Amino acid sequence: MTVRKNQASLTAEEKRRFVAALLELKRNGRYDAFVTTHNAFIMGDTDNGERTGHRSPSFLPWHRRFLLEFERALQSVDASVALPYWDWSTDRSTRSSLWAPDFLGGTGRSRDGQVMDGPFAASKGNWPINVRVDGRTYLRRALGAGVRELPTPAEVDSVLAMATYDMAPWNSASDGFRNHLEGWRGVNLHNRVHVWVGGQMATGVSPNDPVFWMHHAYIDKLWAEWQRRHPGSPYLPGGGTPNVVDLGETMKPWNDTTPAALLDHTAHYTFDA
């Protein structure tokens, strides 16, 4: 059984294997297919039209399935690898071991945002940015530049306290847990972390930065924690909602799974705590 661990508690060997699996997926082309899929959905999901991956109730199950697909790809390279999660409410400094040269590398240099250390630095030659929206082919970051502070534990707690999963109009204007976690409304958790990292993480091609997976693994964990805190609160909407994925409806691009089938993560993985 896959156990997803806090990135801060990984051993040197676990970090090495995770990085090696990422580099292999990049080398063989499978990595970029995930970036492509994400960008396609982020450009296609609109508040008043069809919306599946973002700004909608299925933001959480869609990313759960997306991460499962990615984790399975990693495990096809190295069966011992699981996706770590980044608890940014605790590891909230640019000096976190997450950003050390033996793991993700640090922030970008001021001149052009280019990440200069770690396994994903362009100078290493192993991490070309192929699926992109502009001419730059190197990984970029600007940690803490777009917004000064990552969300605090108290802010996370305030969102976990929201008992209703989601509400009409089921988009970026909604009240409820999902949209506050996604960040279009309120204290802003998920969106703010993308902005804090900067570089490609702030764009539609955000999976170009490997921290994408660890950010979303933590968002996914917060969904699980919310479920434990509100065992009587269902996924909503339950049915008949135009442009929105209801509980029992299948999700693109897979078309073979529903939010209902993804509510229980323990069928696929557990967490270290």
Partner 1 sequence: MPELTRRHALAVAAALTAAAPLAAVPAARADDDGHHHGGTPGSPAAFDEIYKGRRIQGRPASGGGHHHHGDGGYGVFVDGVELHVMRNADGSWISVISHYDPVTTPRAAARAAVDELQGAPLLPFPAN
Q: Rg for the chain (alpha carbons), in Å?
A: 18
133 binds partner 1 per the rule CB under 8 A: yes
Among 15, 17, 132, 178, binds partner 1 (CB under 8 A): 132
How far apart (Å, rounded) are the C-alpha atoms in residues 125 and 108?
16
- 8 A C-beta contact, residue 64 and residue 85: no
DSSP 108: B
Of the residues 57, 106, 113, 119, which one makes contact with partner 1 according to CB under 8 A = 113
Candidates 1, 12, 112, 273; binder of partner 1 (CB under 8 A) is: 112
Q: What interhelical angle do 30-44 and 12-27 show, nearest 10?
A: 80
Strand (E) or helix (H) holding 159: helix 153-160
Cβ neighbours of residue 108 closer than 8 Å, sequence gap 6 or more: 114, 115, 116, 139, 140, 141, 142, 198, 199
d(CA 190, CA 183): 5
Among 28, 80, 94, 250, binds partner 1 (CB under 8 A): 28
Residues in contact with partner 1, total (CB under 8 A)?
A: 48
Among the residue ranges 6-14, 43-51, 91-99, 232-240, the one whose residues contact partner 1 (CB under 8 A): 43-51
Taking CB under 8 A as the rule, does residue 134 contact partner 1? yes
Looking at residue 161, its amino acid is: A
Q: Report if residue 234 touches partner 1, rule: CB under 8 A.
A: no
Near partner 1 by CB under 8 A: residue from 58, 89, 172, 258: 172
Q: Which is nearer to partner 1, 128 or 234 (CB)?
A: 128
Among 5, 14, 24, 33, which residue sits at the site for partner 1 (rule: CB under 8 A)? 33
Residue 183 as a binder of partner 1 (CB under 8 A): the answer is: yes
Closest CA to 55 of 65, 45, 63, 64: 45
* 148 lines the binding site for partner 1 (CB under 8 A): no
Nearer to partner 1, 27 or 95 (CB): 27
Site string for partner 1, 190-229 (x = CB under 8 A): xxx-xx------xxxxx-----------------------
Q: Give the pair of three-digit tokens for residue 215.
A: 């950010």
Binding-site member from 35, 82, 104, 219 for partner 1 (CB under 8 A): 35
Contact 84, 214 (CB under 8 A): yes
Which tokens sit at 236?
């909503």
* End-to-end Cα separation, the chain, in angstroms: 15
Q: How far is the CB of 180 from partner 1 (least distance, A)?
A: 14
Instruction: Give residues in contact with partner 1 (CB under 8 A).
Output: 27-29, 32-33, 35-37, 39-44, 46-50, 55, 112-113, 130-136, 146-147, 169, 171-173, 183-184, 190-192, 194-195, 202-206, 252
